[in-house]
Amino acid sequence: LQKELAQATGLSNGFVSKVVSRLAEASLVERRTEDGRAHPRSPGLLLDAWAQVYRFDQHDVGRFHAVGRTGPAVLEGLAAKLANQDGLEWAATGLAAAWHWTGFADFRLTTIFVSKPVFDAETLDLRPVERGENVWIVVPKDDGVFYRTERVAGVNCANPVQVYLDLLAHPERAKEAAADLRSHKLAWAS
């Protein structure tokens, strides 16, 4: 399994082995010698441990304003424009992705991970602002945020685990959305 993890994540076999060893030392995973696989002892405990060390503020967050009557309208407009950006990987996260994954509550703030800085905000009809933003364009500190993104109702969404972690650092009704997402999409972690 460690070899499969290394291939899926693009990390070296040695690095994956060290991570699995540290997780085993912390009693977060157990190794099964008969098949050589490592399994979480408690997926919920593993997710909670990850949430304790995850730092959304380590990403580079650009604050913008986009014209739109609702959060979903802003997200749909951005999704259409981002789809036309050559070589750009992107995924909604936070409240926008939670809304797509579970239908939890309307939202005002649209948060989108992008694989490279957006140099021409005007192309996306975004206006940089210092406050009053309704869009966060986020260049992540690593590409792991794009692992297993999925298209949901026409929008690229980060994996529910990533969305959950991000919601814990977001405003509005993000904490409630995180609990809702966990109960609906991450039931194995409850």
pTM of the model: 0.88
Q: Is residue 5 pLDDT above 90, yes or no? A: no
Q: Is residue 39 pLDDT above 70, yes or no? A: yes
More confident residue, 10 or 132: 132
How confident is the model at residue 162, as a pLDDT? 97
Q: Is residue 85 pLDDT above 90, yes or no? A: no
CB-CB contact of 87 with 111 (8 Å): no
Q: Which of 63-77, 94-108, 110-124 has the lowest mean pLDDT?
A: 110-124
Q: Is residue 37 pLDDT above 80, yes or no? A: no
Q: How confident is residue 36, by pLDDT bands cut at 50, 70 and 90?
A: low
What pLDDT digit, counting tens, does each position of 134-190 carry?
A: 999 999 999 999 999 999 998 999 999 999 999 999 998 999 999 999 999 998 765
Provide, rounded to the nearest whole percent, the portion of the chain with pLDDT above 90: 64
**Burial of 63 from C-beta contacts in 10 A (0-12 / 13-18 / 19+):** middle
Sequence-distant (6+) residues with CB within 8 A of 35 are 1
How confident is the model at residue 74, as a pLDDT? 97
